[in-house]
Amino acid sequence: MSIQEALQIQREYMQKVRNLVEQSGRVPLALVHTYGCQQNVSDGDKMRGMLAQMGYAFTDEVRKADFILYNTCAVRENAESRVFGNIGALKHEKEVNPNLIIGLCGCMTQQESVVQKIKQSYPQVDIVFGTHALHRLPEFLYTALQDKKVFDRCDDETDIAEGLPVLRTGKWKAWLPIMYGCNNFCTYCIVPYVRGRERSREPEDILQEARSLIQDGYKEITLLGQNVNSYGKTLAQPIRFSQLLQKINAIEGDFRIRFMTSHPKDATHELIDTIAACDKVCKHIHLPVQSGCNRILQAMNRHYTVESYLELAEYARKKIPGVSFTSDIIVGFPGESYEEFQQTLELIKIMRYDALFTFIYSSRPGTKAAMMDDPVPYEEKSRWLQELLDLQRKIGENNYQTYVGKTLQVLADGPSRSGPDYISGRTDTNIIVNFKGSRAQIGQFLPVRITEAFNWALGGEIAK
């Protein structure tokens, strides 16, 4: 079936659901809850877009919902247990309201073992589908409205990315997927198994979406991919990520460009030069290092060394004044020793990251690392993590202090918890700033003079 045919079928189902909704004489409410990364948030926006076209409105309250859809994440075990817990809790809701339709989708349900577990132990669930079947939500919902269950994981990876309606949650910041899937098979990671092989969108489709976002008033666009640095390699007319950045940077308008994630193995000097040269590209690089030990990096199948990583960072610091780095770290990879973990601390001291996303290794069935010996107990790994967090807190605080006295461009993006006269925003380097301002200023770039630093945010005042 061609993509156009598949889309046409779903449009027909959308109309069918819409007809049912109109016949019912009331507006049904959907609750779409997304777990996991921005890629998943972006998928959730597409499903909300389809639901809106089918006549649904939205709620955050389980009790009010006619349709509950959990868009799940499988990256660590605790992500999965949280979802199982939450659907367990819906059993009661279903008893109270037998017309409630419960759906599960996303990365967790792309795994056959999870689909089987749901079938066996969670009879309250009506619809289960994986990441590759996202565009078929109208068909599944229509089937469930006919009192039928749907279990369709869908192994076909030609998932449909173009032509679906999108209902974005934010008004100023938009997520823009430029590619799907991942080919890297880091040995700990489930993502390539649940998201399929790497596929890039056509640059023209991306540019068109970016232009329309800017026309709609969005001020920040984050380009998404599991490894944006390999963007475009598989297209019929190959194009490099840095070329895409230049094209988006050339769009007229007052906006910022971010991207994630940048895999160190494919991050080049050319990328750094492009960030330096493009005025709209934020001077912030999220460059997940995972570990500061070459043996562990190799066991993780990361394809770079501590030395090559540091060389790249040094080049970036030279070329991009004020560049900020953030990273992801896994503590307690199978077989990691305390001495090897210490090497990660050493790397953190050199890198002086603004922020870190830290995770204790979680075994994912089906991955290579899940078969490796993992002798260090969880409690021990927790202590290592605490050591790392203590170090990073000091580094982060020190980094934040260096912002005091500077005037920075801040994109005001919402009210602040500091009080009714305060608003909040983010610097180019993605740090939260709270400052005195009016709601009318939200959505604007404002020059803010930084007066205070906390360990999680900055405080300031609008510069005259």
Contact call for residue 271 and ligand F3S (CB under 6 A): no
Q: Which two tokens stand for residue 350?
A: 């050199």
Amino acid at 78: N
Identify what 73 binds: ligand F3S, ligand SF4, ligand SAH, none; CB under 5 to 8 Å per kind: ligand F3S
Contact call for residue 74 and ligand F3S (CB under 6 A): yes
Identify what 361 binds: ligand SF4, ligand SAH, ligand F3S, none; CB under 5 to 8 Å per kind: ligand SAH
Residue (of 292, 293, 246, 288) closest to 267 by Cα position: 288
Binding segment (CB under 6 A) for ligand F3S, from list 35-43, 88-96, 296-304, 379-387: 35-43
Contact call for residue 114 and ligand F3S (CB under 6 A): no
Nearer to ligand SAH, 132 or 286 (CB): 286
Each residue of 175-187: b (16+ CB within 10 Å) or e? bbbbbbbbebebb
Question: In this chain, which of 28, 36, 130, 292 binds ligand F3S, going by CB under 6 A?
Answer: 36
Amino acid at 129: F
Edge-first strand listing for the sheet containing 173-177: 173-177, 220-224, 256-260
φ, ψ at 328 (rounded to 5°): -110, 140
Q: How far is the CB of 328 from ligand SF4 (least distance, A)?
A: 8
Question: In this chain, which of 184, 229, 230, 399 binds ligand SF4, going by CB under 6 A?
Answer: 184
Identify what 359 binds: ligand SAH, ligand F3S, ligand SF4, none; CB under 5 to 8 Å per kind: ligand SAH
Compute the distance between CA of residue 219 and CA of residue 104 in angstroms, rounded to an integer: 32
Q: How far is the CB of 302 from ligand F3S (least distance, A)?
A: 17
Residue (of 362, 444, 449) closest to 408 by Cα position: 449
Compute the distance between CA of residue 262 and CA of residue 270 in angstroms, rounded to an integer: 13
Binding segment (CB under 6 A) for ligand F3S, from list 55-63, 71-79, 142-150, 406-414: 71-79
Contact call for residue 186 and ligand SF4 (CB under 6 A): yes
DSSP 192-243: HHHH-S-EEPPHHHHHHHHHHHHHTT--EEEEE-TTGGGTTTTSSS---HHH
Q: Which residues bind ligand SAH (CB under 6 A)?
A: 75-76, 188-189, 191, 226-227, 261, 263, 288, 290, 328, 330, 359, 361-362, 364
Q: How far is the CB of 377 from ligand F3S (least distance, A)?
A: 26
Contact call for residue 132 and ligand F3S (CB under 6 A): no
Nearer to ligand SAH, 138 or 288 (CB): 288
Helix, strand, coil percent values for the chain (each to nearest 5): 40, 20, 35
Question: In this chain, which of 28, 32, 39, 241 binds ligand F3S, going by CB under 6 A?
Answer: 39
What angle do the packed helices 38-53 and 137-145 form, to 10 degrees?
A: 60
3-state SS of 55-78 is CCEECCCHHHCCEEEEEECCCCHH
CA–CA distances in Å: residue 239 to residues 95, 171, 256, 279: 53, 30, 22, 21
Nearer to ligand SF4, 328 or 387 (CB): 328
Q: How far is CA 149 from the centre of its chain?
A: 30
Q: How far is the CB of 181 from ligand SAH (least distance, A)?
A: 11
Identify what 378 binds: ligand SAH, ligand F3S, ligand SF4, none; CB under 5 to 8 Å per kind: none
Contact call for residue 263 and ligand SF4 (CB under 6 A): yes
Contacts with ligand F3S, 185-204, as mask; x by CB under 6 A: -----xx--xx---------
What angle do the packed helices 269-277 and 241-249 form, to 10 degrees?
A: 0
Per CB under 6 A, contacts with ligand SF4 among 437-456 are: none
Q: How far is the CB of 289 from ligand F3S (least distance, A)?
A: 18
CA–CA distances in Å: residue 212 to residues 50, 63, 231, 451: 19, 36, 21, 37
* Dihedral angle, C-alpha 304, 306, 307, 312, nearest 10 °: 70
Nearer to ligand F3S, 40 or 227 (CB): 40
Nearer to ligand SF4, 225 or 437 (CB): 225
Contact call for residue 161 and ligand F3S (CB under 6 A): no
Compute the distance between CA of residue 279 and CA of residue 264 in angstroms, rounded to an integer: 23
Residues at the site binding ligand F3S, with contacts judged by CB under 6 A: 36-37, 39-40, 73-75, 107, 190-191, 194-195
Sites of contact with ligand SF4 (CB under 6 A): 182, 184-186, 189, 191-192, 226-227, 263
